[in-house]
A and B are shown apart, each in its own frame.
Chain A
Amino acid sequence: MLTSWAPYAVPVLGLLGLVAFSSVRDQRNDEFPLQPQSSVAVGWADESSCADCHFEQVELFLQTGHAQTLRTVEDSRSQELLQVFQDSVSEYDQTLRVDLSGRDVDVVSQSGANSRSLELDWCFGSGTHAHTWVGTLPDARGQRDLVEFRWSWYHETASFDITPGQTAQKGSGYFAPLGTLFDTPKARRCFACHSTVLPESNGHVDYNAIHPGVTCQRCHGPRQSHVESNGEIQEGFWQAASQMDSIKRCGECHRIAEDQDPEDIKPENPDIVRFQPVSLVQSPCFKNSPQMTCVSCHNPHRPLNSQNSSGIWQCVQCHDSQQEDHVLCSADQLDNCLECHMPKIQVFENIQFTDHWIRVRKSLPKIPN
């Protein structure tokens, strides 16, 4: 009896052994070229170590808009502005109040006996243009949606007004008096552009571990190996970046032409002014200058106000009146190039953007004083 079962008993035992072995994952899977999102933080260095060697750059960089483009609601600047809003809220919306008394910052909309509230968590924007606050809401799957607060602070007017993209008329729904609800993918996109590292675990963004602001490694990539080798390892994105790679790197957040509907890319569309790389690559200057990128004019390591990013030194590299073979301005202007060729455009009521589609214009846009 035993002998007749032997040919089947051995395979069954073998199969059980193989099933046990199956818990070991196949090494060939590691060949997948994209790291899982959970390991997005692999190779990231503690950025405090950047200042050890690049102290000058770091000191100046921390003053840039990029470095300050996201902060927690508890940040002093955020609290300062919310205090201003609290004091003057009745000018904007009589049903609204801001509660800064507790540990959390809550905004409450009271209509009759109905009250709706939102806890604010983050303050977006460096303040060069504006500051917008958001609250994040957990969902049943452990993801987070986002409510963009209805009121933003604008640098241009030094006052509060309705957040760009939101309408003056309040919509319907629970959050309508307080702001606009964004779903998880959209929320992730907001944070992805306003932070350096957006760590994810099991498909969920770990908001407690966000590195806010666009800092060193967001542009230079993970630099742990660079730090650990005391700067010996120099490999990185920028050494090998082509002109378009460079544009794309900035365009990751500032958008690139391929992100847009081709029909939207036209000079008369003021909306694309917001997306500088989209406009820039349409410019004859860009098309005729193989070296021209965003960093040709902007030093990303310095704040805008400490560099001459709006001067003429960039233009005269190709349009120099001292050089006979250079093409010169047909209007015989020798300075103030930007005023005609890269004017500021009023895109939102309180925000102007510089048009990076460098070109000869028939007429200049009117900017309200």
Chain B
Amino acid sequence: MNHSTKSMTNDGGESQAGRQHYRIPFEWCLLSGLIIFSFHTALPGGRSVLMPVTGQTVLSEPGDWHIPATQIEWTREWSSLSYPLMVLLGALFIGFLTQSLMTLVGFGTGMIAMVSLSYGFESWHFLNALLLTTLANVFQHVQNNSEEKLTGPLLILILAMAVLTTLEIGVACLFWLLLFVPYLLTVDSKRWFKQSAFWGTISGLLLLFIGGSTFGFWQTLIRPWSAVASPVYPELFDSLAPIFGAGIPTVGQMLLVLTLLVCWSHAISGIGSFRSVVACLSLFTFLGLLCGYYLWLSVVASLLCLKTKSQTGKASGVLTKRASILRVATALGIILICLLKLSGPGTLLRQYLFEGTLAAHRIDPTEWPSEGPALLLDLDRCSEWLDVQMADQYPPIIDNRWDLYGDRYADYAELSRDLKEMRALLYFRTDQKFGGYLHRIKDWKPLLVVAETREQGAIRDLSLSPHWKMLGIDGQTTYFGRDTSPLLRQQIRTAGRTFLNLEWPDGQATPPSPQVIAASTPADATRVAGAMNAIRLPYAALHMLPSDLTVERQKLRVWAYLELSYRVLRNTEMHSLLDEFRALRLIRELALQKQWSTQESQRLSLSLKGLDLDFVTELLFPSFVTENGSLVNMPEYDDMEENDLIRLHLRSGDSESARDQIEDLDKSKRLFYSPIINSLDQPLPELAKSMYFCIEEGELPHELQSELLFYLGCVAIEVGDYAVAVHALTESQQTDSQSALTPLRITYLQQLRSH
């Protein structure tokens, strides 16, 4: 069907569409709100940044250009909104846009736009998006009513709003030029030229005046360009990187890119309007793809551009039966996905509906009685961090004003790297400069270091630093505080106590302090557990870990068991049969399912080497071992004594061989090995019971009984049963006080009894 035919047949539809355009599109707002709520979880009491409060950083200079509305006392209160209000506003905006797109471009495009914009919603771009939409509406009005006198003042007003409320003045100006200039070149009206020359001069003078009287305004104006042109520091500012140049894009980014491609597809297929939208689409595609920070806004701009240039309506007014079914099915599908996301075990909705409570979702540092600069190891967090209260209490050292402070990012990235690698003192770097964070810290005096919880290596090194102490952790962020700050002393103490309580049960099942640990969803709990294990608190990690058996959680269990194995080996020179067996059997199971990545198998091989189990690496990851050319001495099973052989089979996670071997053992030894072989096949309380019954049989030689009692104590710690743990470890000590396990048993008992 060609273009002209479509417009002829859709005349009636257009008027119908026009009527639809001005009603509130409840269905799309609802769907959009549901998606935003499902995938941008925050506590209902939380706030979302509307206008980032920049300019309060340690490195900012007084007089630099920042959003004027955030510098005035009564307007800066509006720099962030409550989370439900933000969801509502976002949903309304996306709902209206979706409806108009469906009317003008088609249902599919509208639906894709709705899903992608909602999924990737960015509250700090909301005002920019609103301004672009207003510009697009004014332009549409101009197109339809060429005699409109208020257009010029209206455009100046929009520009002024952009200057007053956002940093993305450049995007607004660009969008304005891309919409109006091609149009003015095509219309045949001298009055239009006069008007545009007049208002253009006014705007130009306005910009010149502001730019001339403040520092940094011009830099702010070309901010999109400097985002694309400035060097990328991926470990510092991932969102400035190109979408397809720095690893696999996220789901949200893929959806947004898909929407951009759909825009292009429509522009190309609509031959008549192609030339008028190509400049706009090209520029915003370029911006969005080369700089992830602008992707969401670029998609909004592209959709608005497509909308304003679409001359035909696709909505026929009366939907066919198939189209209606398709719409309902799509909407139901989205609702289903969102509900599944919201109602998963431990999620907010479930907590609220079934438990009537809301566990803390994120740590709120503003509740700590302290204030001072914050050093964000990931500057992508700036957009969320620059909430008015947070910025007042913990101003960042530097923020996301790459337009003004981009030249300081190299220094900052180096500092961030030194902190992550715990390089405190002076050292000579490979770029022939001197590094070491201590020198910078003296200049900038940060009170907090804010790390991403997923960065386990950095968290581990920071936790070992003599200068920083862990203050709190949630699924996204881990906070460290300067150890010398008296303001943080109480929080440091509370955090230390909370972590130890989590590692060593106190018999009272005290829940972790929400001021220190916040992990209300399984995903958050898993990330927190990973960080706990990274700081060598494996029992705390196992206590945090959700009980399900997903691959991610099983992998974390492997690392926790390996950590425990190392703890036992390091403190006793004995291999922990229980922990090594569980770790290795899980490693084997996951290797059979091909769940280990190359990087993970490398890490595992290093870890197993320290346990003298490197031959297992060769068995499980032969290609990795071949590539690395390492030769591993396989154990000589034939020369081994029966017990050693069974122990080796168990330590290497080979339950089948171990099971075969113990068949020939006498009953007392079988009693010892059986619970260990079955340790992963039963819940922990059952495992503890079976160990207890084996010990109660009273037939075990005393050294094996002592060892099994030790394992029982360890399982009890894992279960969180203080009484059984203390009893079993004490019994173990009394049964064989000369055992190599003694120093560790004493340490465990001291830890348990120290509460």
Point out residues on A near B: beta carbons under 8 Å. Answer: 6-8, 10-12, 14-15, 18-19, 21-29, 31-35, 37, 39-40, 42, 112-117, 137-142, 173-174, 183-186, 189, 192, 202-204, 221, 237, 248-249, 251-252, 255-256, 258-259
Secondary structure dominating the interface of B? helix
B369-426: which residues lie under 8 A (CB-CB) from chain A? 410, 413-414, 417, 421-423, 425-426
Q: On chain B, which size bracket covers the interface?
A: 35 or more
B211-261: which residues lie under 8 A (CB-CB) from chain A? 231-234, 241-249, 254, 257-258, 261
Known: A19-B248, A252-B434. A11 touches B265 (CB 8 A): yes
User: Are A19 and B430 within 8 A (Cβ)?
Assistant: no
User: Are B599 and A114 within 8 A (Cβ)?
Assistant: no
User: Are B430 and A40 within 8 A (Cβ)?
Assistant: yes
User: Are A116 and B243 within 8 A (Cβ)?
Assistant: no
Q: Is B83 an interface residue (CB 8 A)?
A: no
Q: Is B572 an interface residue (CB 8 A)?
A: yes
Using an 8 Å CB-CB cutoff, how does the interface string of B556-570 with A read, 1 for contact, 0 for none? 000100110110001
Known: A24-B245, A25-B246, A189-B425. A174 touches B570 (CB 8 A): yes
User: Are A29 and B607 within 8 A (Cβ)?
Assistant: no
Q: Is B30 an interface residue (CB 8 A)?
A: no
Pick the most buried of A18, A29, A32, A112: most chain B CB atoms within 10 A of its CB: A32
- In the complex, the chain A residue whose C-beta lies closest to that of B233 is A32
* A116 neighbours in B (Cβ, 8 Å): 573, 743
CB pairs A–B below 8 angstroms (26 shown): A8-B265, A15-B254, A25-B246, A26-B241, A26-B246, A28-B232, A29-B234, A31-B231, A32-B232, A32-B234, A32-B410, A33-B431, A34-B413, A137-B570, A138-B566, A142-B610, A174-B570, A174-B572, A174-B743, A184-B461, A185-B421, A185-B464, A221-B428, A221-B432, A252-B427, A258-B438
User: Are A204 and B573 within 8 A (Cβ)?
Assistant: no
Known: A19-B249, A252-B426. A141 touches B607 (CB 8 A): yes
Known: A15-B258, A251-B426. A8 touches B108 (CB 8 A): yes
Q: Is B606 an interface residue (CB 8 A)?
A: yes
Known: A22-B247, A184-B464, A192-B427. A237 touches B432 (CB 8 A): yes
* B702 neighbours in A (Cβ, 8 Å): none
* A33 neighbours in B (Cβ, 8 Å): 410, 414, 431, 433
Pick the most buried of A21, A114, A141, A259: most chain B CB atoms within 10 A of its CB: A141
- In the complex, the chain B residue whose C-beta lies closest to that of A218 is B428
Instruction: Indicate which residue in B244, B426, B457, B738 contacts A112 across the interface (CB closer than 8 Å).
Output: B738
User: Are A139 and B262 within 8 A (Cβ)?
Assistant: no
Known: A10-B261, A256-B426, A258-B438. A29 touches B254 (CB 8 A): no
Nearest CB of A to B59, in Å:
18
Point out residues on B near A: beta carbons under 8 Å. Answer: 106, 108-109, 112, 231-234, 241-249, 254, 257-258, 261-262, 264-266, 269, 410, 413-414, 417, 421-423, 425-436, 438-439, 442, 457, 460-461, 464-465, 534, 559, 562-563, 565-566, 570-573, 599, 602-603, 606-607, 609-610, 738, 740, 742-744, 747
- Measured in the bound complex, the distance between the Cα atoms of B707 and A50 in whole Å is 57
- Measured in the bound complex, the distance between the Cα atoms of B606 and A185 in whole Å is 18
User: Are B262 and A22 within 8 A (Cβ)?
Assistant: no
Known: A26-B241, A29-B232, A32-B231. A258 touches B439 (CB 8 A): yes
* B602 neighbours in A (Cβ, 8 Å): 202
- Measured in the bound complex, the distance between the Cα atoms of B360 and A130 in whole Å is 55
- In the complex, the chain B residue whose C-beta lies closest to that of A7 is B265
* A174 neighbours in B (Cβ, 8 Å): 570-572, 743-744
User: Are A113 and B246 within 8 A (Cβ)?
Assistant: no
Instruction: Indicate which residue in A11, A23, A25 contacts B258 across the interface (CB closer than 8 Å).
Output: A11
* B603 neighbours in A (Cβ, 8 Å): 141-142, 202
* A27 neighbours in B (Cβ, 8 Å): 245
Nearest CB of B to A360, in Å:
30
- Measured in the bound complex, the distance between the Cα atoms of B258 and A248 in whole Å is 53
User: Are B430 and A32 within 8 A (Cβ)?
Assistant: no
The 9 closest A-B pairs by CB, nearest first: A142-B606, A26-B245, A11-B261, A138-B610, A113-B738, A185-B422, A31-B231, A35-B430, A22-B244
Known: A19-B244, A114-B738, A174-B743. A142 touches B430 (CB 8 A): no
Known: A116-B743, A248-B426, A252-B426. A22 touches B432 (CB 8 A): no
- Measured in the bound complex, the distance between the Cα atoms of B245 and A19 in whole Å is 10
- Measured in the bound complex, the distance between the Cα atoms of B249 and A19 in whole Å is 7
* B599 neighbours in A (Cβ, 8 Å): 202
- Measured in the bound complex, the distance between the Cα atoms of B703 and A243 in whole Å is 66
- In the complex, the chain B residue whose C-beta lies closest to that of A277 is B426
* A139 neighbours in B (Cβ, 8 Å): 566, 610
Instruction: Indicate which residue in B248, B265, B438 contacts A10 across the interface (CB closer than 8 Å).
Output: B265
* B740 neighbours in A (Cβ, 8 Å): 114-115
* A21 neighbours in B (Cβ, 8 Å): 244
Nearest CB of B to A172, in Å:
8
* A28 neighbours in B (Cβ, 8 Å): 231-232, 242, 245
- In the complex, the chain A residue whose C-beta lies closest to that of B420 is A203
Nearest CB of B to A132, in Å:
19
* A184 neighbours in B (Cβ, 8 Å): 461, 464
* A11 neighbours in B (Cβ, 8 Å): 258, 261-262, 264-265
User: Are B429 and A117 within 8 A (Cβ)?
Assistant: no
User: Are B246 and A117 within 8 A (Cβ)?
Assistant: no
- In the complex, the chain B residue whose C-beta lies closest to that of A201 is B602
* B571 neighbours in A (Cβ, 8 Å): 173-174
Nearest CB of A to B747, in Å:
7
Nearest CB of A to B441, in Å:
11
Nearest CB of B to A47, in Å:
17
Nearest CB of A to B476, in Å:
22
- In the complex, the chain B residue whose C-beta lies closest to that of A18 is B244
- In the complex, the chain A residue whose C-beta lies closest to that of B599 is A202
Nearest CB of B to A11, in Å:
3
Nearest CB of A to B609, in Å:
7
User: Are B410 and A141 within 8 A (Cβ)?
Assistant: no
Known A8-B108, A184-B464; further 13 A-B contacts with Cβ < 8 A: A8-B262, A19-B254, A23-B248, A35-B431, A37-B421, A40-B430, A114-B743, A140-B559, A142-B607, A173-B743, A202-B599, A204-B606, A255-B425
- In the complex, the chain B residue whose C-beta lies closest to that of A40 is B430
- Measured in the bound complex, the distance between the Cα atoms of B432 and A249 in whole Å is 10
Nearest CB of A to B93, in Å:
23
* A221 neighbours in B (Cβ, 8 Å): 428, 432
* B436 neighbours in A (Cβ, 8 Å): 259
- Measured in the bound complex, the distance between the Cα atoms of B426 and A259 in whole Å is 7
- Measured in the bound complex, the distance between the Cα atoms of B571 and A252 in whole Å is 34
- Measured in the bound complex, the distance between the Cα atoms of B599 and A203 in whole Å is 12
Nearest CB of B to A4, in Å:
8
- Measured in the bound complex, the distance between the Cα atoms of B431 and A39 in whole Å is 11
* A32 neighbours in B (Cβ, 8 Å): 231-234, 410, 413
- In the complex, the chain A residue whose C-beta lies closest to that of B270 is A7
- In the complex, the chain A residue whose C-beta lies closest to that of B464 is A183
- Measured in the bound complex, the distance between the Cα atoms of B426 and A249 in whole Å is 9
- Measured in the bound complex, the distance between the Cα atoms of B742 and A22 in whole Å is 54
* B742 neighbours in A (Cβ, 8 Å): 114
Nearest CB of B to A218, in Å:
8
Known: A7-B269, A19-B249, A22-B243. A249 touches B257 (CB 8 A): no
Instruction: Indicate which residue in B257, B413, B431, B562 contacts A140 across the interface (CB closer than 8 Å).
Output: B562
- In the complex, the chain B residue whose C-beta lies closest to that of A23 is B248
- In the complex, the chain B residue whose C-beta lies closest to that of A24 is B245
Instruction: Indicate which residue in A6, A22, A256, A258 contacts B249 across the interface (CB closer than 8 Å).
Output: A22
User: Are B563 and A140 within 8 A (Cβ)?
Assistant: yes
* A29 neighbours in B (Cβ, 8 Å): 232, 234, 241, 245-246
User: Are B743 and A34 within 8 A (Cβ)?
Assistant: no
- Measured in the bound complex, the distance between the Cα atoms of B436 and A248 in whole Å is 12
- Measured in the bound complex, the distance between the Cα atoms of B744 and A189 in whole Å is 28
- Measured in the bound complex, the distance between the Cα atoms of B608 and A138 in whole Å is 10
- In the complex, the chain A residue whose C-beta lies closest to that of B258 is A15
Known: A173-B747, A202-B602. A7 touches B266 (CB 8 A): yes
User: Are B429 and A34 within 8 A (Cβ)?
Assistant: yes
